[in-house]
Amino acid sequence: MSNPELHSPELARSIEAILMVVDEPVTELTLATVLEVPVEQIISALEALVPSYSDRGFALKAINGGWRFYSHPDFSPAVEKFVLDGQQNRLTQAALETLAVIAYRQPVSRARVSAIRGVNVEAVMKTLITRGLVEEYGVENETGAILYKTTSYFLERLGLNALTDLPPLAPHLPDIDSLDEILDSLTD
């Protein structure tokens, strides 16, 4: 199954050509299969390619279990302006809050998300599902409610490799003393 005609420079160029046309991250195994070389050779080639883009407007990253070209983070203001100018595809505050609850509590039912947010999230959930950021995951045994989770597209859009890469919530939560003060002020 080895392709003897594919040497290091040709292998790197073949990988680049494939990565230029993918819509989602592609795994090392897929690249190895298509190019008929061992996975270890693909991994070595990818790792050698990563630093070669350090002074470019794009970077090669391993995201969500696969590899893909992404715009370089240093140029995010320019890319954001290009992508967002004239577009109204931004998520609303309600959608962002709902998405955050799902991301940190998944799998989670729609009723639980509504309870956490304190509002009905029916329309917002439909938007998130339509945009491919959230999907059905299964059914809760006790209640029969449909459970939801974030998608691989969610990870890709956020530039995360896994959910464990989400920033911790603890630094953004009030400490216990602050909560006690708040509760005391409410009972006065």
Distance CA 20, CA 22 (A): 6
Helices 28-35 and 39-49: crossing angle, nearest 10°? 110
Mean pLDDT of the chain: 85
In the block, which residue shows the tokens 């693909």?
A: 42
- Choosing from 23, 42, 75, the residue where a domain stops is 75
CATH code for the domain of 20: 1.10.10.10
Q: Both 71 and 97 in a single domain?
A: no
Range of the domain at 97: 93-187
Lowest mean pLDDT among 105-109, 122-126, 145-149: 122-126
- How much is the pTM? 0.52
Whether residue 104 is contained in a domain is answered as yes
pLDDT digit string, tens, across residues 25-54:
999 999 999 999 999 999 999 999 999 998
How far apart CA 109 and CA 123 sit, in angstroms, is 14
The tally of domains found in the chain comes to 2
**Any domain includes 107:** yes
In this structure, the answer to whether residues 101 and 59 fall within a common structural domain is no
What percent of the chain lies above the pLDDT cut of 90? Answer: 49
Element (H, E) at 85: none
